[in-house]
A and B are shown apart, each in its own frame.
Chain A
């Protein structure tokens, strides 16, 4: 086990240092203002947009800003004096040609490594059967999907994913209060855990507990975001395209009204759980909800991490599903590779050489043979079909799980 853990860490460090997605530089540039005493990053960035080298808004929630900014403060000695000027460098070539980039990336992604290993140990203790726990531990550490999602794409969602998994472990031990606290903390990094609250409500033993466990995450989130509440915060983080994209898909029913697929799935599962399920198993509902959300929305590659620990648990619980899960995971990660976005593929390797800028993206290559949008639709439809059947399988075999 120790040897495997060491290999897993080495692989992660290599990906951390060699693959570069520009998002990590953008949000660390924004978080670097904490060192200069800026507390409300949302209004600061909008007020000083004209003079800043990077013009993006801070799309994450306040806790992300303080954690990343605080981490930079702690590691500033190791990062060195040139770090801030690298962060502020808007030159596409000079950023990757900086000889310190390997050090910067390895250090900036180091907290993800700690959280990632933390998730592996949570999975180790998830099952009563030690052997199953060890399998989950190994499967989490040795699958190329999570390594890519976390380290190549510099996925900040890992904070929420770890906290959601802790919440889920408390639910498993029937400690709903503690679970709702961790779910609230998870919401402070990313809003998606808020969508699990309706199922937490169903899990409550009586009306008092149902209301309390539903309100605690909202109170925690409110306490964290209220001091920053401003048009700048609402525009940048709360209703940003990234936050609301999950609820974009829908179909019109006329007269300006439409059915929003995300809410439709949430409502259908809530009522299914309420009316048909006497002993609700939250693992099944969260997994099915996420599977269906990814099936029917244009997801960001980072979102795939939300479901990853649940997929590992499912593959261990039901070994017959491990191959379908592997195939669907490969499909899910393949779809964003065909987006018309260089940083999804070719640009990740720009540290090696900027000559790669001459290479066409998979989208452009495919364009010469077939319509890439049609191809992505075929992949996404296959993913949706497979996810639908797995969801049916999970809900049908609830008693066994």
Chain B
């Protein structure tokens, strides 16, 4: 019976307080820490150098 008491108490507390944290860590934020307009400049196409003489 002691094992069942511990098992129930721990599993319920895990479900209420640990599980939500695990679930939150699984959420994939879009865009993930790469927000356009912030941080270093990112190029969509490779940068080209134009030479007017050739």
Query: A residues bordering B, Cβ < 8 Å?
Result: 4, 7, 11, 14-15, 18-19, 135, 138-139, 142-144, 147, 346, 349, 352-353, 355-356, 358-359
Within 8 Å CB of A353, what residues of B? 20, 24
Instruction: For the complex, give the distance between the alpha carbons of A231 and B37 in Å.
Output: 62
Contact of B12 among A138, A147, A349, A356 (CB under 8 A): A147
Q: State how many angstroms separate the Cβ of A301 from the closest Cβ of chain B.
A: 15
Interface CB pairs A-B, < 8 A, 20: A7-B5, A7-B9, A11-B8, A11-B12, A14-B16, A15-B16, A142-B5, A142-B9, A143-B4, A144-B7, A144-B8, A144-B15, A147-B8, A147-B12, A346-B23, A349-B19, A355-B24, A355-B27, A358-B27, A359-B27
B4→A142 contact, CB < 8 A: yes
Q: State how many angstroms separate the Cβ of A349 from the closest Cβ of chain B.
A: 6
B26 at the interface (CB under 8 A from A): yes
Chain B, range 6-39, C-beta contacts under 8 Å to A: 7-9, 11-13, 15-16, 19-20, 23-24, 26-28
Chain A binding surface SS class: helix
Within 8 Å CB of B52, what residues of A? none
Chain B binding surface SS class: helix
Within 8 Å CB of A11, what residues of B? 8-9, 12-13
Q: State how many angstroms separate the Cβ of A271 from the closest Cβ of chain B.
A: 38
Known: A135-B1, A142-B4, A144-B11. A18 touches B24 (CB 8 A): no
Instruction: For the complex, give the distance between the alpha carbons of A18 and B13 in Å.
Output: 11
- Name the residue on A nearest B20 (C-beta): A352
Extra contacts besides A15-B12, A142-B7, A358-B27 (5): CB < 8 Å: A7-B9, A11-B12, A142-B8, A144-B11, A147-B8
A358→B28 contact, CB < 8 A: yes
Within 8 Å CB of A349, what residues of B? 19-20, 23
Contact of B27 among A14, A142, A144, A356 (CB under 8 A): A356
Within 8 Å CB of B4, what residues of A? 138-139, 142-143
- Name the residue on B nearest A12 (C-beta): B12
Instruction: For the complex, give the distance between the alpha carbons of A7 and B5 in Å.
Output: 10
Q: State how many angstroms separate the Cβ of B13 from the closest Cβ of chain A.
A: 8
A138→B7 contact, CB < 8 A: no
Which of A14, A19, A142, A346 has its CB near the most chain B CB atoms (within 10 A)?
A142
Q: State how many angstroms separate the Cβ of A346 from the closest Cβ of chain B.
A: 7
Known: A14-B12, A18-B16, A144-B12. A138 touches B1 (CB 8 A): yes
Q: State how many angstroms separate the Cβ of B29 from the closest Cβ of chain A.
A: 9
Q: State how many angstroms separate the Cβ of B28 from the closest Cβ of chain A.
A: 7
Known: A11-B8, A139-B1, A144-B11. A359 touches B26 (CB 8 A): yes
Within 8 Å CB of A138, what residues of B? 1, 4-5
Within 8 Å CB of A355, what residues of B? 24, 27
Within 8 Å CB of B27, what residues of A? 355-356, 358-359
Please name the 8 residue pairs, one residue from A and one from B, whose CB atoms are nearest each other, closest first.
A142-B8, A142-B5, A352-B20, A144-B11, A11-B12, A144-B8, A138-B1, A142-B4
Within 8 Å CB of A144, what residues of B? 7-8, 11-12, 15
Within 8 Å CB of A143, what residues of B? 4, 8
Instruction: For the complex, give the distance between the alpha carbons of A142 and B24 in Å.
Output: 28
Within 8 Å CB of B1, what residues of A? 135, 138-139, 142
Within 8 Å CB of B9, what residues of A? 7, 11, 142
Q: State how many angstroms separate the Cβ of B24 from the closest Cβ of chain A.
A: 7
Q: State how many angstroms separate the Cβ of A131 from the closest Cβ of chain B.
A: 11
- Name the residue on B nearest A139 (C-beta): B4
Which of B5, B8, B9, B24 has its CB near the most chain A CB atoms (within 10 A)?
B8
Q: State how many angstroms separate the Cβ of A355 from the closest Cβ of chain B.
A: 5
Which of A7, A14, A144 has its CB near the most chain B CB atoms (within 10 A)?
A144
- Name the residue on B nearest A7 (C-beta): B9
- Name the residue on B nearest A315 (C-beta): B4
Within 8 Å CB of A14, what residues of B? 12, 16
- Name the residue on B nearest A138 (C-beta): B1
Within 8 Å CB of B28, what residues of A? 358
Within 8 Å CB of B8, what residues of A? 11, 142-144, 147
